[in-house]
């Protein structure tokens, strides 16, 4: 179309749309109701249909969404069509709590929202009941602040330890991911607001995320990267799924009918709406996105509306395909609180939610090392010397769309005060001054802030602290976020300065026969093998939300018995990961966020323009355990202050289908605690994979509970690429009842008589 004809076309389109609206206004139009969607669809003009499937847009496109419309700071809104009773809806981030503005123009009050632990920390609870309660709290805040849809949970796999967005995601395992996500979705949607699974699919790297092609075989695609989404769709019926930026085998996710319609809807039965990730015009073909099954193009722009109109005019997009998306959008609108005229209060119970955040933080902490029962700290420990910037500037959440503007963030200094332990004021003052100077230089950033650089501490201060204090705490801080992957040299490995602080503090305190504890306030896996034997205890706190400092100190004092277990493997060295040759761990190009410039493809750059998933099904523990590779900590690992015995493990088939393993778990130690029980079984070509898990209630010393963990034939099956089907192979299946993937406590088994095709699927990428 020439520029002149394009202008003429637009003028005609505007005149036609205007005439249609005038004529429509002369008649009494029906009003949208849940039971008259097809009637409303029949009344809509083409212009109105296009308005509904393209977001209302931000005043200024920022790439991450920060609208001032309706609820300030929300990620975006949908367009209203008042003549038909179609109300706007408000869409918000995120996975660790809402991301909206706390300050509003002309008002003095603050609209705070609770900061919860990051997704990885939540997954390390292995507690689906608690996960659902966290979802309920976040959903309630959305409901009371007038929001309709939450862009959470994030649930791509931790394919590689350096994935920049791993902190938002749950695990390297799809079963754990799917089960935790399903519980989270159920909790959110119990409030009558929607949840969104993201980013669908195979969005495992941030580097060039809008323009990278993921090359992957069908079996790992189905068994690993789609499986968690499938579980959450089938078990929780989310209102929405967000399509990813990247391509899969040459098909862009947002333009892939195979992915968004055939697999998601036909194979899995998804009945909600699909929203695009925040895409600027020029990156995608808007008409093709609608054809593929993207029901809402977000955040929305006039250029996208024009592209859809042009696609209809050129015959590249049918009215029927547009109507399909419009119908789903109308159904979505009718489900929302805003459509149902809910009188939101703007006053959620933040105190109750803070308590829930604290509980989740306590269960997400993983105790990695505890030599000589250093923890819990002895009653003789009255004062500690705290080292490391993060001890005083404790990191709560990640950056990007997973950021939360919390009402407060409790650091370790505040946490120790709450449990009755003093901290060395002289050492603290040195760190406080540096932190204050750094904060004064910061400009406002709605995406949140990176961790502050570590500082050197005088040897004399360390020596004096070892003389005066009863124990030392060293905190290592690492943040990360949307837009870039982590680097092996600076974010996986500790810096020379950090290792020197550990060395010097350990030497000084051990010379006085006093313990040293390292706290890892980190967003992802870090290297531990080179230094973990130096301190007496190592605590993996993750980023624990606004109550994190209190949670850690309650655990150090012994008021909480650690029950967190790793949702990923800690390798000895990054190079031990079989993904490292096919991951951009050292890329130093532009940050992949916002409206960034495309990286030229001449030539195409490995792991930037394309990434080959050559490892196939061997990701995380599936690789390390199958091939017997050394690790620092295995998948599912975590220590406790007590011990547990396992007995009477049995497996039985259930009359309604599926299987159940029962096992009696007894607290054989000296303090109350919870245990995570994990079931593993061999699946074709794999030593084993997780097929089920459960967590006990709080068991007192000597108390027992019989856990009953269910799993399905699909949990034991593999994806046969030749048949495009899930197959359960015949044979004996030894089942490991385990404390982690390398610590089996009891055994049981089941027998499958003959090979069985469980489900043939239609989709193929």
Residues taking part in catalysis:
277
Q: Which helix (H) or strand (E) segment is 91 a member of?
A: strand 90-93
How far apart are the C-alpha atoms of 582 and 609, rounded to whole Å? Answer: 12
Name which of 639, 620, 439 is nearest 532 in CA terms: 639
For 237-265, the DSSP string reads: --SEEEEPSSEETTEEGGG-HIIIIIIII
For 422, phi then psi, to 5°, come to -80, 160
How far apart are the C-alpha atoms of 186 and 184, rounded to whole Å? Answer: 5
How far apart are the C-alpha atoms of 116 and 229, rounded to whole Å? Answer: 22
SS3 call for 321: helix
Neighbours of 341 (CB within 10 A): 7
> 528: buried, middle or exposed (CB in 10 Å: 19+, 13-18, 0-12)?
buried
Neighbours of 656 (CB within 10 A): 5
In 130-180, the DSSP E strands lie at: 149-151
371 contact partners, CB below 8 Å, separation of at least 6: 536, 537
Q: Residue 346: left (phi > 0), alpha (psi -120 to 50), or beta?
A: left
Which residues pair with residue 276 across a beta bridge? Answer: 243
> 511: buried, middle or exposed (CB in 10 Å: 19+, 13-18, 0-12)?
exposed
How far apart are the C-alpha atoms of 65 and 90, rounded to whole Å? Answer: 12
Q: Which helix (H) or strand (E) segment is 473 a member of?
A: strand 471-477
For 376, phi then psi, to 5°, come to -65, 155
Name which of 334, 343, 36 is nearest 194 in CA terms: 334
Name which of 210, 222, 211, 228 is nearest 259 in CA terms: 222
Give the Å distances, CA to CA, from 388 to 449, 462, 472, 517. 17, 12, 11, 12
How far apart are the C-alpha atoms of 469 and 731, rounded to whole Å? Answer: 61
Name which of 558, 418, 573 is nearest 494 in CA terms: 573
Give the relative orientation of helices 302-313 and 319-335 as an angle to the nearest 10 degrees. Answer: 140
Structure tokens at 635: 């998948």
How far apart are the C-alpha atoms of 31 and 86, rounded to whole Å? Answer: 8
The torsion of the CA quartet 165, 170, 174, 176, rounded to 10 degrees, works out to 180
In 73-193, the DSSP E strands lie at: 76-77, 90-93, 149-151
Check whether the bond before 562 is cis (ω within 30° of 0): no
SS3 call for 392: helix
Structure tokens at 505: 């503090």
Tracing tokens 């469980």 back to the chain, one arrives at 758
SS3 call for 509: helix
8 A C-beta contact, residue 327 and residue 18? no
Q: Pairing relation of β-strands 686-695 and 704-711?
A: unpaired
How far apart are the C-alpha atoms of 640 and 420, rounded to whole Å? Answer: 22
Name which of 662, 646, 762, 757 is nearest 704 in CA terms: 646
Neighbours of 107 (CB within 10 A): 9
């Amino acid at each position: 179309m020439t520029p002149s004809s394009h202008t003429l076309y637009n003028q005609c389109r505007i005149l036609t749309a205007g005439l249609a609206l005038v004529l429509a206004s002369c008649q009494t139009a029906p009003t949208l109701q849940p039971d008259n969607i097809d009637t409303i669809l029949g009344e809509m003009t083409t212009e109105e249909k296009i308005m509904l499937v393209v977001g209302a847009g931000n005043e200024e496109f920022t790439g991450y969404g920060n609208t001032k419309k309706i609820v300030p700071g929300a990620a975006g809104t949908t367009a209203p069509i008042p003549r038909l009773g179609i109300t706007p809806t408000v869409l918000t981030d995120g996975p660790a709590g809402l991301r909206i503005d706390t300050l509003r123009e002309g008002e003095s009050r603050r609209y705070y929202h609770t900061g919860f632990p990051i997704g990885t920390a939540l997954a390390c609870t292995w507690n689906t009941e608690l996960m659902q309660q966290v979802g309920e709290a976040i959903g309630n805040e959305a409901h009371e602040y007038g929001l309709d849809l939450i862009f959470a949970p994030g649930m791509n796999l931790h394919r590689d330890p350096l994935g920049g967005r791993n902190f938002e995601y749950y695990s390297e395992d799809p079963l754990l991911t799917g089960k935790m996500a399903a519980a989270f979705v159920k909790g959110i949607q119990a409030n009558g607001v929607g949840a969104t699974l993201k980013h669908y699919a195979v969005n495992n790297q941030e580097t060039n995320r809008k323009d990278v092609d993921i090359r992957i075989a069908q079996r790992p695609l189905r068994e690993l990267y789609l499986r968690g989404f499938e579980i959450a769709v089938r078990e929780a019926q989310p209102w929405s799924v967000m399509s990813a930026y990247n391509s899969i085998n040459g098909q862009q996710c947002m333009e892939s009918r195979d992915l968004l319609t055939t697999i998601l809807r036909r194979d899995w039965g998804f009945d909600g709406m699909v929203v695009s990730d925040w895409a600027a015009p020029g990156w995608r073909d808007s008409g093709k996105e609608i054809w593929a099954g993207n029901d809402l193009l977000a955040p929305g722009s006039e250029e996208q509306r024009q592209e859809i109109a042009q696609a209809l005019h050129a015959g590249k997009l049918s009215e029927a395909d547009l109507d399909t998306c419009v119908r789903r959008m109308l159904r979505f609108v009718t489900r929302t609180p805003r459509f149902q005229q809910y009188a939101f209060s703007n006053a959620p119970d933040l105190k109750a939610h803070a308590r829930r955040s604290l509980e989740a933080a306590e269960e997400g902490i993983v105790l990695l090392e505890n030599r000589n029962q250093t923890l819990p700290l002895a009653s003789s420990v009255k004062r500690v010397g705290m080292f490391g910037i993060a001890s005083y500037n404790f990191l709560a959440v990640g950056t990007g769309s997973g950021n939360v503007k919390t009402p407060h963030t409790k650091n370790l200094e505040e946490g120790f005060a709450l449990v009755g332990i003093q901290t060395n004021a002289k050492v603290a003052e040195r760190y406080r001054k540096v932190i204050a100077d750094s904060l004064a230089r910061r400009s406002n950033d709605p995406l949140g802030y990176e961790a502050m650089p570590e500082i050197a501490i005088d040897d004399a201060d360390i020596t004096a602290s070892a003389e005066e204090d009863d124990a030392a705490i060293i905190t290592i801080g690492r943040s990360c976020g949307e837009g870039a992957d982590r680097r092996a040299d600076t974010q996986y490995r500790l810096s020379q300065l950090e290792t020197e602080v550990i060395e010097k503090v350990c030497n000084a305190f051990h010379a006085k026969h006093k313990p040293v504890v390292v706290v890892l306030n980190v967003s992802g896996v870090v290297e531990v093998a080179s230094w973990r034997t130096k301190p007496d205890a190592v605590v993996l706190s993750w980023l624990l939300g606004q109550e994190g400092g209190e949670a850690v100190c309650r655990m150090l004092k012994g008021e909480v018995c650690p029950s967190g277990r790793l949702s990923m493997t800690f390798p000895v060295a990054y190079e031990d990961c079989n993904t490292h040759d096919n991951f951009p761990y050292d890329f130093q190009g532009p940050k992949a966020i916002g409206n960034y410039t495309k990286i030229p493809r001449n030539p195409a750059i490995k792991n930037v323009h394309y990434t080959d998933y050559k490892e196939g099904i061997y990701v995380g523990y599936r690789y390390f355990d199958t091939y017997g590779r050394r690790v620092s900590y295995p998948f599912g690992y975590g220590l406790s202050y007590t011990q547990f015995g396992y007995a009477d493990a049995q497996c039985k088939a259930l009359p309604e289908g599926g299987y159940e393993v029962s096992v009696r778990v007894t607290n054989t130690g000296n303090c109350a605690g919870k245990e995570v029980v994990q079931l593993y079984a061999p699946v074709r070509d794999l030593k084993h994979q997780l097929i089920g898990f459960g967590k006990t209630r709080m068991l007192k010393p000597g108390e027992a509970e019989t856990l009953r963990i269910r799993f399905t034939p699909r949990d034991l099956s593999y994806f046969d690429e030749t048949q495009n089907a899930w197959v359960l192979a015949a044979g004996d299946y030894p089942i490991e009842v385990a404390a982690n993937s390398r610590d089996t406590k009891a055994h049981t088994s089941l027998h499958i008589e003959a090979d069985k095709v469980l489900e043939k699927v239609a989709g193929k990428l």
